[in-house]
Chain A
Amino acid sequence: MNNILLKTQDINKEFSSVAVLKNINIEVIRGEILGIIGENGAGKSVLMKVLSGIYTPTSGRVIFEKKPVVIKDPLDAKHLGISLIPQEFNLIKELTVYDNVFLSSEIRKKNGLLNKKLMMTHTNELLRELGVEIKPDEQIENLSIAQKQMVEICKAISVDAKLLIMDEPTTVLTKYEIEILFKLMRRLKEQGTTIIFISHKLKEVKAICDRVSILRDGELICSEMIENISVLEMAQRMVGRELNQVFPKKQQPEDEVVFEAKGLTVSGVIENISFQIRKGEILGFAGLVGSGRTEVAETILGIRKHSAGKLYMHGKEITIKTPKDAVKNGISYLSEDRQGCGILTNFSVIQNTTLVSLDAYCNYLFGYVNRKKEEKSALKYKEQFDIKTENLDTRLEYLSGGNQQKVSLAKSIDSEPIILIADEPTRGVDVSAKQEIYSLIKSLAEKGLSCIFISSEQEEIIGMCHRVIVMKDGKIMNTLVNKKIKEEEIMFLATGVREGA
């Protein structure tokens, strides 16, 4: 075939003698959108980092436009026309949009000073081309997550990228924003840009890609035209086994109200948040990114000070000023930002598990930690949650995202909470780990734990929750119950717009 843009020949990559890529032979055809899917740890991100020069392969060659190329660093990749939009944004938040777009390819005047005006005009053109409204001289930290993503894309195409690699770009986006992104990707494709799209979300891959390549355990399992493979088949080949029903059956919660928030307000952030949660209930919080859901959680935990409102546990008013108070009152938090707020990567599995509940493992006098007891408890979770780790003293940085999340969940429930606030509990986690987390949360709820379930994934919300609160601009729009919990209804409340209308 003539129109092969990029081809890899027997790419191998090892990290300290552990093979993460095994003889990868992949082809990217000019002008297509190629989906690459696989579980966490399948090697998707590593392969992309090899293509963009962040890692060098242990062996194997990359052929780009029919010529073998050596990509030593991201600058080489840039010169070839390969741009990577990484999973974690690579923007400098103190700088402006145009500073970031032209970072390391700044336009200079003859006297060596920066030509800010020209860069600003160029940025403005690019942004308009993408159809987004962002001021080129806005500071990055003032932008929403979706806008930051647009700036990343703008940065990537500013260097005339022939190949654009997007590593899980939709993880942080809401459904509405994803639509905008897809429109943009289609437009780029029309303009002749080739795109590699990496995602966990198979429906998105089905919707946007022309072809899909599936990786499992560092090996390329297959490449198929998108019309020849169903979402279910993709999932099965990814995992390598049959998948059962994704969501466990809902169990009816008890009538007893355990926790209540009345008129919770943080001025300028959330307004008049009132809700009740019953024993064993899974209460969903839906809404767009930035609608104030995480802020509600942070307020309940005492990280944000509320200017008005009261909290009740079992009908009694409680005061929470710090996360410590929250834990004492039986409220626990599973953070959306795993590495930023959830776990310590340089702590072991045991140390992470007991981080919140350490008091229970210490003697009163000197706070001397009973290691045997800790180990026993961590072992219990390892078996219960099927945490895959070499041993319990392994530092968390060596665990995959899904297993890290399980440790984070173990940490959150080891303090034996009454209420668990799970904030995007399956973010960045692969399909099978997702299923496990769903059934773990469900089985905890059956044992009487009440769960506040915050998620941007509609499917999760619909599949898991007994009731769903939809938020917009820091306010509760409505609470949906039973059959009213529908994707369309949630989107309508979250955006204020009926889709397709």
Chain B
Amino acid sequence: MIKAIIARVKKSQSEKYAVFMALAVLFIISAILSPYFIRIQNLLNILRQVSYVGIIALGMTFVIISGGIDLSVGSLMAFIGAVGILTLNYLMTVFNNEYLAIPGAILASLIMGILSGALNGFLITRGRIAPFIVTLGTMAIFRSLSLFMANAGEIRSVSGHYGEFGMNSIWFLPVPVLIMLIIAAILNIILNSTRYGRHLCAVGSNPRVALFSAINVDRIKFLSYVLCGFTVSVSAVMLTSRFNAVSTSNTGMGFELDAITAVIIGGTPFTGGRGNVWGTIVGVVILGIINNMLNMLGISPYLQGTVKGLVIISAVYMQRQKS
């Protein structure tokens, strides 16, 4: 009996920490393969690169725990970026004061993100349409709207300062990395220690049981999409402020797949019901290190997709073997 208990504890522990171990192994291998890898500057660069997808993946984690999926995040990012910069430029002509215009633009972006997430959530819960279908539709809509706004081109901001804070570092951490870590810490608490987190897992685990347990299933699901929209808008603000511009055709391209990949590698099952917020962060970092190493080793960028594909398939395969 005691043996069985120990075996079970070990199993649950290894399940939770497998992704951290994978990261450690990858880290050591990379350090051996390339001396440049462990330079602080390189590591910070990797973190900065992955932070944009990372922030989105945090929202995606909640959506996937609820048993859903959000394919629209990449297009939504371009859309919010475009709306944000157009708002910024407009406010500049009105106020002619960056310190009014920049907060205004950020606020507009965040509101746009929340509204777009709410649209997805509304169609899924009230319209009773499958999340995959709804977000497939909105993915096409958001991308097309952003292309339309700039004739498929780039929108530049007229502000000189908007591009600053996205490039800055606080202490030594780049701003988007810091923001990603803060959001992760908050979401981790929400998932593990609050009523909403508990209800989210219940809904993802079995929506019928949740309904019979007096949980407002639709509200829980709805909020997860709103949260996801919000994280997309945060990420969009970070990314556009870094370039001080948005490319309506390129921004956010393929982000939905990277975000989903990170969530899955991080140990959140695709079927929902439970999840691991820090695992998702480790998931994006693993993807970032792989990209970084492929670049350093001079492997064709066209092959990076192959590696990513193999990583996600083998990650899920290994999770299956354990359970």
Contact = CB atoms under 8 A, between A and B. Distances in A.
A496 interface: no
Nearest to B5: A390
Contacts of A344: 202, 205-206, 209-210, 273
A394 to B, nearest CB: 8
Interface stretch (A279-287, A319-327, A376-384, A429-437): A319-327
A368 B194 contact: yes
B304 to A, nearest CB: 35
Contacts of B273: 344, 346
A114 interface: no
B7 interface: yes
A367 B195 CA distance: 5
Interface string B191-217: 001111011011001101111111110
A342 B210 CA distance: 9
Interface residues of B, number: 27
B310 interface: no
A340 interface: yes
A369 B193 contact: yes
Interface of B: 1, 3-5, 7-8, 193-196, 198-199, 201-202, 205-206, 208-216, 273-274
A345 B4 CA distance: 19
A368 B193 contact: yes
Contacts of B202: 344, 347, 355
Interface of A: 16-18, 301, 303, 322-324, 326-327, 333, 335, 340-347, 351, 355-356, 358-359, 362, 366-369, 371, 390, 398, 411, 415
Given A322-B216, A327-B214, A411-B213, A341 B208 contact: yes
Contacts of A18: 1, 4
Given A16-B7, A17-B4, A324-B216, A342 B209 contact: yes
Given A347-B202, A351-B198, A303 B7 contact: no
Given A347-B202, A362-B194, A366-B194, A355 B213 contact: yes
B80 to A, nearest CB: 27
> Which of B1, B201, B209 neighbours the largest number of chain A CB atoms within 10 Å of its CB?
B209
**In the complex, the 5 A-B pairs of residues with the closest C-beta atoms, listed nearest first:** A367-B195, A327-B214, A324-B214, A341-B212, A323-B214
A326 B213 CA distance: 10
Given A18-B4, A344-B206, A367 B211 contact: no
Contacts of A327: 214
Given A17-B4, A367-B196, A369-B193, A347 B212 contact: no
A327 to B, nearest CB: 4
A324 B209 CA distance: 13
A16 B4 contact: yes
> Which of B206, B212, B216, B273 neighbours the largest number of chain A CB atoms within 10 Å of its CB?
B212
A88 to B, nearest CB: 16
Contacts of A17: 3-4, 7
A358 B199 contact: yes
B214 A367 contact: no
Nearest to A362: B195
A441 B215 CA distance: 25
